[in-house]
């Protein structure tokens, strides 16, 4: 069996937003300063960042979007100082419409079979990257909030993301898909209650392999509720570990966060 190792963004390093570069074990419940269980979250607090380096000076919340000519743009919507391997970043209360994209469109219909969305007119910002900058204002890495365990027969990944919506919306239900060619099964459970403004949601994926059927199974849960028995930790991903210093401009239209909502993660994992 060849196990597929999960990258949270399931894309190449040049276009990834949250690369799962290092993991901590899933442990007992721990108080989550960023968790609210379903309300608006406009502040991101990180402490005791794992793999932190002294070169980090500033943290910036960055977004990637396309203008009316479909040209990729990059903007900073918030920033804060980084001290003692910690930071608190206050996100703007509102987000300009030019940064938002439809939460739902017609091409999502097939992907969301079995899922109920309370308001399909909602617009959202799915793509927020927490960039780390040095004193010369050069981007040297990024931050991720995650936890995972790994063994020979089962793989579990847990991570958190921030999304902005311009209306309240709920997403409930379960989607299933079977890839007969690769003998893989994908199950995604949605239990989201998003309030107008910023929200945090948790993405958990468990991998298992059935030796008798040789089938690989990925079971995902996307929810506002922090998974029980899981401790999320903040990690710094140093770009120099991969031989590059600055991020490549990304297209908001191919936002990996939106793909998580619409069960498209498998297409980038093969």
User: How would you write the pLDDT of the chain (270 residues) with one tens digit per residue?
Assistant: 333 322 222 222 222 223 222 223 333 333 456 654 444 588 999 999 999 999 999 999 999 888 888 898 999 999 999 999 999 999 999 999 999 988 877 666 666 778 888 998 999 998 789 999 999 999 999 999 988 555 445 567 788 889 999 999 999 999 888 899 999 999 999 999 999 999 998 988 888 989 999 999 999 999 998 888 888 899 999 988 765 544 333 333 334 445 555 443 333 333
Express each pLDDT in 181-209 by its tens digit. 999 999 999 999 999 999 998 988 888 98
The whole-angstrom separation of Cα 50 and Cα 205 is: 22
Give the model's pLDDT for residue 192. 92
Structure tokens at 243: 């031989």
Only one residue has tokens 């199950």, namely 187
Give the model's pLDDT for residue 147. 80
Across 225-256, b (16+ Cβ under 10 Å) vs e yields: ebbeebbbbbbbbbbeeeeeeebeebebeebb
Give the model's pLDDT for residue 111. 65
State how beta strands 184-194 and 215-223 pair. Answer: parallel
Give the model's pLDDT for residue 247. 39
Only one residue has tokens 């899922």, namely 115
């Amino acid at each position: 069996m060849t196990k597929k190792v999960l990258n949270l963004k399931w894309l190449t390093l040049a276009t990834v937003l949250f690369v799962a570069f290092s993991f901590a074990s899933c442990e007992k419940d721990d108080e989550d300063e960023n968790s609210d269980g379903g309300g608006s979250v406009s502040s991101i607090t990180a402490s005791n960042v794992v793999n932190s380096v002294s070169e980090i000076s500033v943290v910036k919340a960055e977004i990637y979007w396309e203008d009316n000519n479909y040209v990729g743009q990059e903007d900073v919507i918030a920033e804060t100082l980084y001290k003692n391997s910690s930071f608190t970043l206050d996100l703007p209360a509102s987000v300009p419409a030019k940064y938002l994209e439809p939460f739902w469109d017609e091409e999502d219909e097939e992907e969301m079979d079995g899922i109920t969305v309370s308001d399909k007119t909602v617009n959202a910002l799915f793509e927020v990257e927490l960039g780390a900058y040095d004193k010369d204002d050069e981007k040297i890495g990024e931050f991720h909030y995650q936890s995972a365990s790994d063994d020979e027969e089962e793989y579990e990944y847990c991570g958190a993301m921030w999304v902005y919506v311009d209306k309240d919306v709920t997403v409930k239900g379960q989607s299933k898909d079977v890839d007969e060619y690769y003998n893989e099964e994908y199950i995604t459970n949605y239990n989201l209650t998003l309030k107008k403004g910023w929200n945090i949601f948790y993405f958990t994926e468990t991998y298992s392999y059935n030796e008798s059927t040789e089938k690989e199974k990925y079971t995902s849960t996307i929810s506002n509720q922090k998974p029980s028995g899981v401790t999320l930790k903040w990690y710094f991903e140093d770009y120099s570990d991969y031989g590059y210093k600055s991020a490549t401009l990304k297209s908001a239209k191919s936002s990996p966060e939106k793909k998580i909502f619409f069960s498209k993660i498998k297409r980038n994992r093969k």
